[in-house]
A and B are shown apart, each in its own frame.
Chain A
Amino acid sequence: MGVLADVLLVAGALWFLLAGIGVARLGDSLARVHAATKATTLGMVLVLLGAILQSPGADGLKLSLAIALVVLTNPLAGHLLGRAVEANPGTAEVRIDIRATVEADETRPPDDRPLESEPDEAGPDEAGA
């Protein structure tokens, strides 16, 4: 049990180091959000699992609550930040042209914001019927 806990602690810390290298080195705001969110979530889960294995008991419950909270909220925070960056591409370093990639699937008009719904989809039919 002790060896497994040590391996989990060091593996989680290595994921944190990977996230740090990604955030420091990547050249795009969206790429930095991507690197920081996923790698820190996995690293934190591994480190806290190692801590729970090392010292079980009453504190294991609190640490697993922290795991649950971060697993639920950290990808959500990354998604919110990514959506904010994508909505205002001029305010951050965005090298990959997301719009060009998205426009390729022609389901969306070119200058439509992703969160705006299209009002003339079902309106006239229901009004005529």
Chain B
Amino acid sequence: MITLTFALLTASTLLFAFRAFRGPSVADRVVAVDAMVIVAIAAIATDAVRTGDARFADAAILLALVAFVGTGIVARFIERRGG
């Protein structure tokens, strides 16, 4: 089950990465990178289940904060300058 979860997370990360490379506008790239960060949080939780030890849980909290701050700043940038 954990292998299946990791496989699904990897597949979705590849799709997000496709959009992040291809995405015609800044908003598309930002949304894809933000979604990849959320996938990383879920992967950290799945890895905590696999190893039975949540040593990366602090990193999950920090990723949640950084994803929001980064997305918010880029959204403000798009809104002000257009891009």
Contacts and interface: CB of A to CB of B under 8 A. Distances in A.
Interface of A: 5-6, 9-10, 12-14, 16-17, 19-21, 23-24, 29, 32-33, 36-37, 40-41, 43-44, 47-48, 50-51, 54-55, 58-59, 62-63, 65-66, 69-70, 73-74, 76-78, 80-81, 83-85, 87-88, 90-93
A11 B53 CA distance: 22
A88 B31 contact: no
Interface in B68-83: 68, 71-72, 74-76, 78-79, 82-83
B16 A20 contact: yes
B38 A13 contact: no
Contacts, number: 186
Given A9-B1, A33-B31, 12 more contacts: A13-B5, A20-B11, A20-B14, A20-B16, A20-B35, A23-B32, A24-B15, A24-B18, A69-B64, A73-B67, A74-B68, A80-B71
Given A73-B64, A77-B75, A13 B49 contact: no
A65 B61 contact: yes
Contact of B35 (A23, A47, A51, A87): A23
